[in-house]
Amino acid sequence: MAYSIDAKDYFKSKLYTGNGSTNAITGVGFQPDWTWVKNRTDGSTNHLVTDAVRAATKCLFPNLTNAEVTESNALQSFDSDGFTLGSDSSVNTNAKNWVSWNWKANGAGSADSSGSASNVTVSANTTAGFSIVTATMQNVKTVPHGLGAVPDVIIGKGRDYATAWKIGAGDILGGWNQNLALQSDAGLVNDDRFFYPSSVAPTATLFSSDQSAWGLGGSATETMVYYCFKQITGFSKFGKYSGNSSGSDGAFIYTGFKPSLIIGKYIGANYDWWMLDTARNPSNVANLKLYPNASAGDASGVVLDMYSNGFKMYDGNQQFGENGSEYFFMAFAEAPLVGTNDIPANAK
200: cis peptide before it, omega within 30°? no
Element (H, E) at 55: strand 55-60
pLDDT value at 167 more than 90: yes
**What pLDDT was estimated at residue 1?**
40
Contact (Cβ atoms closer than 8 angstroms) between residue 176 and residue 166: no
Single-letter code of the amino acid located at 29 = G
Most distant pair of Cα atoms in the chain: their distance: 57
pLDDT in tens, 2-44: 567 899 999 999 999 999 999 999 999 999 999 999 999 998 9
Confidence of residue 217 (pLDDT cuts 50, 70, 90): low
Taking all residues of the chain, what is their mean pLDDT, rounded to a whole number?
93
For position 348, what pLDDT does the model report?
38
H or E segment and range at residue 89: helix 89-92
Q: What digits encode the pLDDT tens for the residues 173-206?
A: 999 999 999 999 999 999 999 999 999 999 999 9
82: left (phi over 0), alpha (psi -120 to 50) or beta: left
Q: What is the pTM of this model?
A: 0.95
Is-contact 60 68, C-beta < 8 A? yes
Partnered with residue 142 across adjacent β-strands are: 208
For 264, phi and psi rounded to 5 degrees? -140, 160
